[in-house]
Amino acid sequence: MKKVLTQISIILLVLSISSAQSNEKCSPDFEMSKSSIVNNSQNDSLEKGEVFVFFDQSTTMQGFTIDQPGQENLYVNIVDDIQQIAENIGSDTIYQNFGTEINPMSDREVAKVKTPKFYECSGSSVECNNQFSSIKEIFSIAEDEPAATHIVITHLNLQDSQLLASDRESITDPLTSILKQGKSIGIIGVMNSFNGKIDNIPLRSGDYTEYLDAETRPFYILVIGNQDNINRIKDNIEENHFSSNKENFKYALITSSPILQNLNENKLIDENNMPTKLAREENFNFSYMEDYLPVYKFTGNKQTKLKFKIKNNQIVVPGSTGVSKFSISEKVWTTNKTKCKDIKGWNEANFGTLSEITQNNDELVIDLFTEKPLKKLFRGVRYFYKIDVFADKPGNSSEKEFSDWSVNSSDIDKFTQSNPVSFKTLNLEKFVSILNAVSGDTFKKTLIASFVVNFNLTK
Amino acid sequence: MNMKHILRSVLLSAIGLALLGWVSFWFTTLNAFGPDGESNLLQWYFDNLVQREEITSSGMPWEDLAVSLYNLLAQMTTALLSITVVAALLWSVGSHFLNVNAPGKAKFYFIYWIIFTGIFMAIVVGIVFWFTKSAEFNAADYLSDGGVIMISAISFIYYFLVYYLGVLLGTARFARSSILFGNKIPVSELL
Amino acid sequence: MKNYIIGIGGTGAKCLEHLLHCCSAGLGPNNLWAGMVDQDEANGNVSRTKILLNKYINLRSNLRNESRNDLTKKSNLFKTNITANADSVWLPMKGANPTLEELINYNLLKPEVKGLMDCLYDPDELKQNLSEGFRARPNIGAAAILSTTANEDDIFWSQIYKAIDAARGGEEVRVFIISSIFGGTGASGFPNIARRIKQIQKDKNVASNFHLGGALMLPYFNYEVPEENMEGELFAKPEEFLDQTKGALQYYSKLFEHEPIFDQVYVTGWDPLTKLPNFKMGGNLQKNPPLFPELYAALGALRFFSEDNQISDKQEILHIGKNESNDILWSDIPNVSNSLNSKKDISKLIRFAFSYNWMYGPALTGSWSKIKKYQNENWFKRLIYKNTYNTDTKACEVGHEHNQEIISSMQEYCQDVLTWITDMQYSTIADTDQKMDLVASDFFSEFKDKNSSERIKIKEKLNETEKNQFNTLINDNKNLKLLNVMSNICYQRIEKDQKGLGVFMDILFRSCEQ
């Protein structure tokens, strides 16, 4: 009998507590916005795909294989590395050469890639004089083989005509498709010794010229595939050859999603994202709502400073174009009861823009209540202020990365006449900008973080 | 000092205070009962005293927020009326102790009255400021700048008038020349 | 009831002076006829009292004028309606240089009568010019008075006859005479005039309703007689006062035993004798200061006249004295009756005199253009403006001549009151071990005892500190300040029927009481 009574009491107690709690409305009702970031690595199957390696066989590439006294020649080693990596990351490695056309290569021919002979032109003089690297073909293949990793080793000198009209579309359309499928393009640039001829240098007159006096010149490894493989290749090259001096190494990642992750997913937001002083405010409490949404709860005053900071490296894929524009979505609910147990309901406020988001080199800062200062709010009112942080537009950091190795067609004439020792790549920046533009078009507004400030003011 | 004369002054002062002071009492009572949804006062407050846009944008119903404003105003008018009554009675009693011991001396105490009244008005301003601008009352946040000015101006003028009527009637007869227009009071055995 | 007072000689005149001030304070009866008897017509004290009497009568008549300025019956200020003959002093022997010889027609007397006269009087005494009094020779005075009193046609004595007629008619009549037991006129006049009055009463068969009282002043002062220029002169010698008194007392003792003339006799004196600074044989230079014992005589008279005083058939002899110490206190001043508190009323009069003389009198003096600066003050509006406003001319007439006369007369009278009390206080204790601090007078007056013509100089103006000493004016532990007076005049109820300046005067008077 006693046991029964005890059990009944416990049940009644639990019911009353839950009933009391159910009457409390410590937070308003709203839909939790969840991240839409697709983890690319999770999308990839565990199976290794094919690796296509394309060697630019144009004559001018020969200069990378001949040593230049006094200059370091990494071309051969890097080609070796790429072959090695390709074998590692792919289930099957297919080597091809390209110039105006793409041709498969036998194993024997692959070995010759490091020799000058590989790059000798065996065609007619007309063909040999009109050589150009048809990069668009490779993008087309990459579009057709989205699961594979495509590695291209080329000088990347592109004529204006290759970046205009239908040729441009031949690059942008497959690239769009590639990026939409969650793939990325890594551009690894290596300033290497050069001892050869740089041809097809456009002159102002409309003719072309060549240059023989360059001692260094960059070559590029374009990697089209998933980010993991791109990073592996890049890391491998960087570690093997540029661990101490990165001056002759450049890297950019063109991706449809430069966003690394959503911070809420793995509960990466904590008290330290807000100023330390906030933790000293009255009744301060930090917790996660529904295991997803961080809530900063406190009793403040009208002088309380609120700045939410996120490190860039937590949200931006390293080497990527980054994000050039962030935005915030704000919602505020109010109630004229400050104590949780007294709150019966919340009202949705219509405050408009309250806060400002800015980005510097290291971090993303959300300065709360800059547009509508705390002093304009009311004491004795509880505010539930939810902020969603979005990346709106990718950045163009990669263009800047390669700008000092790039020369436009309008300047190359003059540049050549200046007898440069280190020869720049024609239209490199333009090419990267086209890739960035495509990545920008494919970019979707992404939620990177959400948090709540639940507060009332006392003075 | 003749207690009879002092008590008479206190009574006359109370009558003077009541002439206009009843309005404050009624207003305080009205506010003490809190907002009534149908009330014109609630709407008037919204239209004239508070930051309408801020309140509207906060999403909270005005009637809910107004409770604390009513409370603020009730307490403020209570404090103001109390200080007014105290000041008027203090002057009325104190006027019997002004050393008006000869003909022509009363008017020199005008400066005393000015100073006393000045202190009283400063206290009135201080009380209004404390209620409407300091951190003591949350409802002060609702008030717009125009609302604060209106409350200040009305309080300043109204409570001065209540005080003035109190001292006009309550000041000792021989000291009436010490207050503004005090000498205009007709001679009567009742006053 | 009809009341009559006769002050005989210089002492009688001085006692009358005290009595007049007491009457102005409200201690007197409703009506009183006053007269003086002195051979020394120009006697300084008699003149002073005569002037004071006229002032009193004029001021009272101006302030109890039903049509203009009326204090009304309820007011105690100048309550007693004092009347007097046009010449309030009766000279027993008229003429420019009267002598006893001429009075008795010595030269026409039979030799045996002449011989009797020679026995009774020295030749000097017969030939003494009596125009300045009887020079402390009551024997001369008695003869003179006996031969000239009771002339019904005499304007002075006709009043006495009328009084006795009134008594016969059923009205109660009280007659009081004051004099010194020593000296000349007083010593001779007191018993003889009293007996004469009694004789008239007897002759008219008036057996009831008529009462006679008297105050007999035993020696209370002395003075030093200068040695030069006094040889051959007849004058009152202070060293003879006590002997004279002794002799007189023996006489009165027998008189009262065998011929009870008086219904009540008040006897008073003073010890030690007050030393007066100046000696004058007579005339207007004999102007002795008011002294405290004279106040006793005046209060005795007022007591006699009081309706509360039930006069029995048996003759009463009353002594008035002070406490045994050397301090003269307010408690040494007896009340006139149970309802008339002498100290209260006299101190009220003094406060009234002070506040009127220095505060309100000057404010009301002058033309309207000067006075109007007070027109907004409550006391002025309530007490002056409203009551002196002429609805025909639509103007306040306080600045008009008829009102200004009253205002200045009152101011003069107030100065007299202040001088009187100050002089009495100073002079009574001068050069003695006695102390009298009834009033604090140092701050508003100066005492110059060498200068007998203006012994007391009342300050014309007082500064603020001096005015603030008002609350210490009367040493009665009542802290009545000028502020209280101002407050009182603003709040005191105005009596019905009071008019004109009577309103203000009465209210100010009433306001000077705590």
Mean pLDDT, chain C, whole residue set:
86
Does the predicted TM-score (pTM) go above 0.80? no
| DSSP string of B4-36, one letter each residue | HHHHHHHHHHHHHHHHHHHHHHHHHHHHHT---
Within a domain: B79: yes
H/E run at residue C319:
strand C316-320
What letter would DSSP give residue C470? G
Return the domain boundaries, chain C.
Answer: 2-93+134-321, 345-511
User: What pLDDT is recorded for position C109?
Assistant: 78
**Within chain C, which residues score under 50 in pLDDT?**
none
User: What pLDDT is recorded for position A401?
Assistant: 82
- Is A345 part of the contact surface with chain B (CB cutoff 8 Å)? no
Within a domain: B33: yes
User: Choosing among B53, B57, B58, B72, which should be mutated to test the A contact, i.e. which has the most A CBs within 10 A?
Assistant: B58
Return the half-sphere exposure (C-beta side, CA atoms, 13 A cut-off) of residue A215.
8
User: What pLDDT is recorded for position C252?
Assistant: 85
Distance CA A219, CA B62 (A): 70
Q: What is the mean pLDDT of residues A349-355?
A: 92
Q: How far is B133 from chain A (nearest CA, A)?
A: 11
* Residue numbers of the domain that contains B13: 3-184
Q: How far is B134 from chain A (nearest CA, A)?
A: 9
User: Does the pLDDT of residue A161 top 80, yes or no?
Assistant: yes
CATH 3.40.1350 fits C2-93+134-321, yes or no: no
Which tokens hold the place of C29?
């009866």
Q: Which residue has the tokens 């100290």?
A: C343
Q: What is the mean pLDDT of residues A183-204?
A: 90
Give a three-class secondary structure readout of chain A: CHHHHHHHHHHHHHHHHHHHHHHCCCCCCCCCCCCCCCCHHHHCCCCCCEEEEEEECCHHHHHHCCCCCCCCCCHHHHHHHHHHHHHHHCCEEEEEEECCCEEECCHHHHHHHHCHHHHCCCCCHHHHHCCCCCHHHHHHHHHHCCCCEEEEEECCCCCHHHHCHHHHHHHHHHHHHHHHCCCEEEEEEEEEECCCCEEEEECCCCCEEEECCCCEEEEEEEEEECHHHHHHHHHHHHHHHCCCCCCCEEEEEEECCCECCCCCCCCCCCHHHCCHHHHHCEEEEEEEECCCEEEEEEEECCCCCCEEEEEHHHHECCCECCEEEEEEEEEEEEECCCCHHHCCCCEECCCCCCCEEEECCCEEEEECCCCCCHHHCCCCCEEEEEEEEEEEEECCHHHHHHHHHEECHHHHHHHHHCCCCECCEECHHHHHHHHHHHHHHHCCCEEEEEEEEEEEECC
- Read off the pLDDT of residues C204-237 as tens digits, 9 standing for 90 and up: 888 888 999 999 999 888 776 655 555 555 555 6
Q: Report the chain C residue with the minimal C-alpha distance to residue B8.
A: C491
User: What pLDDT is recorded for position A41?
Assistant: 47
- pLDDT bin (cut points 50, 70, 90) of residue A21 is low
Q: Which residue has the tokens 């003909």?
A: B103
Q: Do B104 and C379 touch (CB under 8 A)?
A: no
User: Choosing among C376, C388, C473, which should be mutated to test the B contact, i.e. which has the most B CBs within 10 A?
Assistant: C376
**Do residues A238 and A246 touch, judged by C-beta distance below 8 A?**
yes
Mean pLDDT, chain A, whole residue set:
86
Query: Subunits that touch chain C (at least 3 Cβ pairs < 8 angstroms)?
Result: B
Work out the widest C-alpha separation in chain B, in whole angstroms: 68
User: Does the pLDDT of residue A126 top 80, yes or no?
Assistant: no
Q: What are residue A223's DSSP bridge partners?
A: A151, A186
Residues of chain A neighbouring B142 (CB-CB closer than 8 A): 378
Within a domain: B173: yes
Q: What are residue A225's DSSP bridge partners?
A: A184
Residues of chain A neighbouring B53 (CB-CB closer than 8 A): none
List all residues 6 or more positions away from C388 whose beta carbon is below 8 Å from its beta carbon. C396, C397, C398, C403, C500, C501
Q: Do A350 and B60 touch (CB under 8 A)?
A: no
Within a domain: B190: no
Q: Report the chain B residue with the minimal C-alpha distance to residue C381.
A: B187
Q: Do A348 and B59 touch (CB under 8 A)?
A: yes
- Is A376 part of the contact surface with chain B (CB cutoff 8 Å)? yes
- pLDDT bin (cut points 50, 70, 90) of residue A43 is very low
- pLDDT bin (cut points 50, 70, 90) of residue B143 is very high
- Is B36 part of the contact surface with chain A (CB cutoff 8 Å)? no
Highest mean pLDDT among A408-412, B83-87, B134-138: B83-87
User: What pLDDT is recorded for position B174?
Assistant: 94
User: What pLDDT is recorded for position B1?
Assistant: 58
User: What pLDDT is recorded for position C453?
Assistant: 65
Could you tell me where the DSSP H helices lie in B33-182? Answer: 40-48, 52-58, 62-94, 110-132, 145-170
Q: Do C379 and B103 touch (CB under 8 A)?
A: yes
CA-closest candidate to residue A434, choices A231, A220, A136: A136
User: What pLDDT is recorded for position A139?
Assistant: 86
Determine the 3-state secondary structure of C218 from DSSP.
coil
- Read off the pLDDT of residues A361-385 as tens digits, 9 standing for 90 and up: 889 999 999 999 998 999 999 999 9
- Is A415 part of the contact surface with chain B (CB cutoff 8 Å)? no
Q: Do B173 and C490 touch (CB under 8 A)?
A: yes
**Do residues C194 and C214 touch, judged by C-beta distance below 8 A?**
yes
User: Choosing among C487, C489, C492, C496, which should be mutated to test the B contact, i.e. which has the most B CBs within 10 A?
Assistant: C487
Highest mean pLDDT among A54-58, A65-69, C28-32: C28-32
Give the rounded percent of residues in chain A with a pLDDT score beyond 90: 36
User: What pLDDT is recorded for position A190?
Assistant: 94
| Beta strand A382-394 pairing with A323-335 | antiparallel
User: Choosing among B99, B187, B190, which should be mutated to test the C contact, i.e. which has the most C CBs within 10 A?
Assistant: B187
Within a domain: B77: yes
Q: Do A334 and B58 touch (CB under 8 A)?
A: yes
User: What pLDDT is recorded for position C315?
Assistant: 86
User: What pLDDT is recorded for position C106?
Assistant: 76
Q: What is the CA radius of gyration of chain B?
A: 20
User: What pLDDT is recorded for position C239?
Assistant: 67
Q: Do B100 and C483 touch (CB under 8 A)?
A: yes
Which tokens hold the place of C354?
């002070």
Q: Do B60 and A334 touch (CB under 8 A)?
A: yes
Torsion of CA C186, C190, C193, C195, to 10 degrees: -160
User: Choosing among A334, A337, A381, A382, which should be mutated to test the B contact, i.e. which has the most B CBs within 10 A?
Assistant: A381
Q: How far is B97 from chain C (nearest CA, A)?
A: 8
User: What pLDDT is recorded for position A37?
Assistant: 62
- Do B and C touch, 3+ Cβ pairs within 8 Å? The answer is yes
Residues of chain C neighbouring B92 (CB-CB closer than 8 A): none
Q: Which residue has the higher pLDDT, A292 or B116?
A: B116
Of the candidates A376, A379, A381, the beta carbon closest to that of B60 is on: A381
User: What pLDDT is recorded for position C63?
Assistant: 93
Positive or negative torsion for Cα C84, C87, C88, C90: negative
Q: Do A350 and B54 touch (CB under 8 A)?
A: no
- Is B173 part of the contact surface with chain C (CB cutoff 8 Å)? yes
**Do residues B134 and B75 touch, judged by C-beta distance below 8 A?**
no
- Is B189 part of the contact surface with chain C (CB cutoff 8 Å)? yes
Q: What are residue A93's DSSP bridge partners?
A: A51
Buried b (16+ CB within 10 A) or exposed e, C22-51: bbbbbbbbeebbbbbbbbbbbbbbbbbbbe
User: What pLDDT is recorded for position B19?
Assistant: 96
Q: Do C360 and B103 touch (CB under 8 A)?
A: yes
Q: Report the chain B residue with the minimal C-alpha distance to residue A459.
A: B135
Could you tell me where the DSSP H helices lie in C6-110? Answer: 9-24, 44-63, 100-103
Number of domains in chain B: 1
Distance CA C311, CA C179 (A): 21
